[in-house]
Amino acid sequence: MTDTLAPSVILSGITHRYGQLTAVDGVSLSVAPREVVCIVGPSGCGKSTLLRLISGLESVQKGEIAVEGQQLATAGRSLPPERRPVGMMFQDFALFPHLTVAGNIAFGQTDRPRAERMRRVNELLETMALTRYADAYPHTLSGGQQQRVALARAMARDPKVLLLDEPFSALDEQLRRSVREEVVRIIRASGIATIVVTHDPEEAMEMGNRVVVMEAGRVVQADTPVNLYQRPANSFVARLFGEVNRFEATVRDGHIVTPLGRVMAPGLPGGTKVEVACRVEDLELVPLGARPDAVPVRVRHSSFLGPATRVCLDLGGSEVHARLPGHVNVRAGEELSAAMAAERVMVFPAG
Ligand SMILES: Nc1ncnc2c1ncn2[C@@H]1O[C@H](COP(=O)(O)OP(=O)(O)OP(=O)(O)O)[C@@H](O)[C@H]1O
């Protein structure tokens, strides 16, 4: 593991305002060498602003950014983008249409002797399996190939950190998955510390050693994908990574009564207002009366999704959902019993 190594990238106390709007609010974050960190969050939460600050496209107003011990920027002091050891790849690839693939990759290395530049270009063409397209122009390439050219260009100057902003959003669903796997393989093999911005939680979990969840300019939780899913810091994080059923309730005598049964609440004082959340895949359905702890529900409708069946249920007039693996035959109007998987129920302070 890389945890013992000094971080490659350190952001300390970054706050950034556009006029009255605070786009980034006191963000501190470090990325270890060889680590891929994904920043995920809804539109407008400040993800791209963070990348723009690291790359130097935006000046730091408050806080500090350092890469491998070198200060890149602090309020009033800033290294220009071209002098930062940072490679950036944008969502639209931003390739130069009038330059060949080799020309695009060579761009920005003008400070290097020609022989060295060509050596690096050839090396990257090989890594990206693009050698036979060296003299082709971007518009003649597939989306996946263009993506690899953009990545090669971002890596050409041997940056110490790679920044990818929504790198796959221009690709269709089918292509996205395979290109994503390929890009992650290349990045991991390169060992460059990488920050990926995405609004897609699944993409973040698949790519990141660590995932940073942002909301309204702040970091809500920075953790491994497993911890984010199993131990979300709050209801917002829980909902980001999957559909949940939620109930507001109050703690009484060490437990919480919800419409789906009792939940233990050890250590929470009586009277505490809480939100109880249960992932749709953690709602178990059994025949009516089969379990004493389950409550009666009636099927409203169900949808077969391929790997799972999503069932919409009436619970005393309100609606809850279950997601069962595979194809499950349930009829509208059918009566069943539902219970939450006790060990996976989540309890948060009421918002
Ligand atoms: N140049 C700018 N001038 C004024 N406001 C801006 C500017 N750039 C971004 N903002 C605002 O700052 C906030 C954060 O924007 P940012 O682009 O960082 O969010 P984001 O999380 O990357 O969103 P998206 O996923 O939609 O790209 C938004 O409210 C946005 O409207």
DSSP state of 1: -
Residues 170-219 pLDDT 10s: 778 887 888 888 889 889 998 999 999 999 999 999 999 999 999 999 99
CATH of 9-239, one of 3.30.70.20, 3.40.190.10, 3.40.50.300, 1.10.10.10: 3.40.50.300
pLDDT at 172: 82
ipTM: 0.96
Apex 194 CA angle, 191 and 200, nearest 5: 130
Tokens of 258: 């919800």
Identify the architecture of domain 243-349 in CATH: Beta Barrel (2.40)
The pLDDT, as a whole number, for residue 236 is 95
What's 323's DSSP letter? E
Contact between residue 330 and residue 308 where contact means Cβ atoms under 8 Å apart: no
Half-sphere exposure of 76 (CA within 13 A, CB side): 0
Which tops the pLDDT comparison, 335 or 3? 335
Pairing of strands 86-89, 161-165: parallel
Sign of the dihedral defined by the CA atoms of residues 239, 242, 248, 252, in that order: negative
The continuous run of DSSP H or E covering 12 comes out as: strand 9-18
Task: Read off the pTM.
Answer: 0.90
| pLDDT single digits (tens) 139-176 | 999 888 898 899 999 998 889 999 999 988 877 888 78
Take atom 25 of ligand 1 and give the residue whose Cα is closest: 43
Q: What is the pLDDT of residue 263?
A: 92
- How far apart CA 312 and CA 306 sit, in angstroms, is 16
Least confident span in 46-55, 110-119, 152-161, 257-266:
110-119
Q: Is 169 left (phi over 0), alpha (psi -120 to 50) or beta?
A: alpha
Cα 258–chain centre separation = 31
The Cα–Cα gap between 265 and 255 comes to 5
In this prediction, what percent of the chain has a pLDDT beyond 70? 99
What pLDDT score was predicted for residue 2?
44
Please give the Cα distance from 58 to 194 (Å, whole number). Answer: 19
Q: Which of 47, 51, 165, 199 to probe ligand 1 with, by most ligand atoms within 8 A of CB?
A: 47
Is residue 5's pLDDT more than 80? Answer: no
- CB–CB of 208/38 below 8 Å? yes
State phi, psi for 286 to the nearest 5 degrees. -135, 165
- Tell me the average pLDDT across 242-268: 92
Q: Which pLDDT score, from 0 to 100, does residue 127 have?
A: 86
**Distance, CA 287 to ligand 1 centroid (Å)?**
50
Ligand 1 centroid–CA 50 distance in Å is: 10
Q: What percent of the chain has pLDDT over 90?
A: 72
Cα 291 to ligand 1 centre (Å): 50
Confidence of residue 4 (pLDDT cuts 50, 70, 90): low
**Alpha-carbon distance 167 to 151, whole Å?**
9
Beta pairing, strands 218-223 & 261-264: unpaired
Cα 92 to ligand 1 centre (Å) = 17
Among 303, 187, 293, residue whose Cα is nearest residue 243: 303
Pick from 38, 49, 90 the residue to mutate for probing ligand 1's pocket: most ligand atoms within 8 Å of its CB: 49
For the residues 88-93, what does the mean pLDDT come to? 80
Burial of 106 (0-12, 13-18, 19+ CB in 10 A): buried
Report how far ligand 1's centroid is from the alpha carbon of 186 (Å): 29
What are the φ/ψ torsions at residue 157 (nearest 5 degrees)? -90, 20
User: Which pLDDT belongs to residue 107?
Assistant: 85
Interatomic CA distance for residues 67 and 291, integer angstroms: 57
Give residue ranges with CB within 6 A of ligand 1. Answer: 18, 21, 23, 41, 43-49, 199
Domain extents for the chain?
9-239, 243-349
Neighbouring C-alpha atoms within 13 Å toward the C-beta of 271 = 0
Distances (CA, A) of 125 to 103, 106, 114, 115: 11, 11, 16, 15
CB-based contacts of 274, cutoff 8 Å, min separation 6: 248, 249, 250, 251, 256, 265, 268, 347, 348, 349, 350
- 315 or 183, higher pLDDT: 315
Which residue type does 253 have? Answer: D
Torsion 126-127-129-133 (CA) sign: negative
Residue 1, pLDDT above cutoff 50: no
